[in-house]
Structure 1
Amino acid sequence: MALTVSSDLSVNVTTDQNVHKLTDKKEVLKRSIQKGEPKSMGISQVMLGFLIISYSVPLLSDELTEVVTFGVPWWSGISSVVAGAVALIMEKHSSISLVFACMVFTVLAAVFSIIAVIIYMVDIMKHPQTTCEKNTQHTCDEEYYITRFSVEVKSILMSLSMVQTAISSVFGFILYRERQNFNNYVFMN
């Protein structure tokens, strides 16, 4: 609030220019964040997380490998869902602190996805598909089909985790740039 007194001793109360600048910066932040499409990125992260979790259910019927023992699809899927949910919240309520929180969760989801891809690769190499041993009915034995199914499910999960890594990395970079642009206005909510 600014006060001005004129020569006839009348007092005028006006709003401060700094308040206008900060309000304008908040609107610029909101428009700038919405250019990065946080809603579409958040929805894609949530969907990928649920796909990873749901596609991993058949692995529970197979032998326990490192992927199932460490719960890789579940913690990588949940981290993706959480990062997407924070992005959706940030889209509704734009603020620097939410941009930072979304950036942290998105980068964590990317790191978890990279770790998941590595574990999937190691598990597929450690537990490869067995060769087809023909039985009396001229079909392959049961172990061949079980290991083939397991390797294919893990390959799908690895591909989904790679997509999640790409989306999280790009979105994390966009959020980092936006945060750097508005770093001077951290005290605003």
Structure 2
Amino acid sequence: MAVSVSRDLTVQVLEDVNLVKLTDRQQALRAAIQKGEPKSLGVSQVMLGLMVMSYSIPLHFTELTEVVWFGVPWWSGVTFITAGVFAIVLDKHGTMRLRLSRGVKSSLLLFTLAQMVVSTVLGFLLYRQRRGFGQYTSLNQAAPSTPTSSTAPGQD
């Protein structure tokens, strides 16, 4: 803190240069954090969409399931990527001061969480259903792959 004393012995407290610099830097940091929020959310959504799509590629080399048949990994990945691109574009053209901007960001977060819940529940149900058919795999392996005909005894 800087203090100045004049000839008539009056004391004046001057602004501290370091305090002004610190306040300016804090405000700049706060603005940067607020501005970077939708961009980081958008980038994470795009990466999540790409991960969902890339992790679903091995599904095409296994048995054809309902998940692959309906294209769930592809359209869910595209949904994540679309939401992420929308958030990145919103970061460039929107500000945190707009209510609409906050509403859209909140909606994107809500839709992301809803999609995660739906995907988790669907995955759990499909896993449970597939596990329920596990007891029949031994019967399929023991049975012959082609039908056989049998003749009545004594008709040979």
Scaled to the shorter chain, the TM-score interval is 0.5 to 0.7
1:98-154 deviations in Å (ceiling 9; x for gaps): 4333333332232222111111111112223969x9xxxxxxx9xxxxxxxxxxxxx
**What does 1:37-76 correspond to in 2, within 5 Å?**
37-76=37-76
Q: Following TM superposition, where does structure 1 have runs of at least 4 consecutive aligned residues deviating by more than 4 angstroms? A: none
Residue 112, structure 1, aligned to residue 115, structure 2 = yes
Instruction: Please show how residues 31-180 of structure 1 align to structure 2 within 5 Å.
Output: 31=31, 34=34, 37-95=37-95, 96=98, 97-128=100-131
Question: Residues 44 and 98 from structure 1, CA distance in 2 versus in 1: closer, same or farther, beyond 3 angstroms?
Answer: same
Partner of 1:183: none
The percent identity for this pair of structures is 38
Q: Is the 8 A contact 2:50 2:77 kept in 1?
A: yes
- Computing the radius of gyration from Cα coordinates, the structure with the larger value is 2
Count of residue correspondences: 104
- Asked if the contact 1:44/1:84 (under 8 Å) is kept, the reply is yes
The verdict on how the C-alpha distance between 1:86 and 1:99 changes in structure 2, with shifts beyond 3 A counting, is: farther
Q: TM-score, normalised by structure 2?
A: 0.54
Structure with bigger RCO (C-alpha 8 Å, 6+ apart): 1
Aligned residues of 1:72 and 1:116 also touching (Cα < 8 A): no
User: Structure 1: which amino acid aligns with 2:46?
Assistant: V
The CA RMSD over aligned residues, in Å, is: 3.0
- Superposed CA offset, 1:65-88 (max 9, x none): 232233222222222111211111
Deviates more, 1:42-51 or 1:57-66: 57-66
The unaligned stretches of length 5 or more in structure 1 are: 1-29, 134-140, 142-189
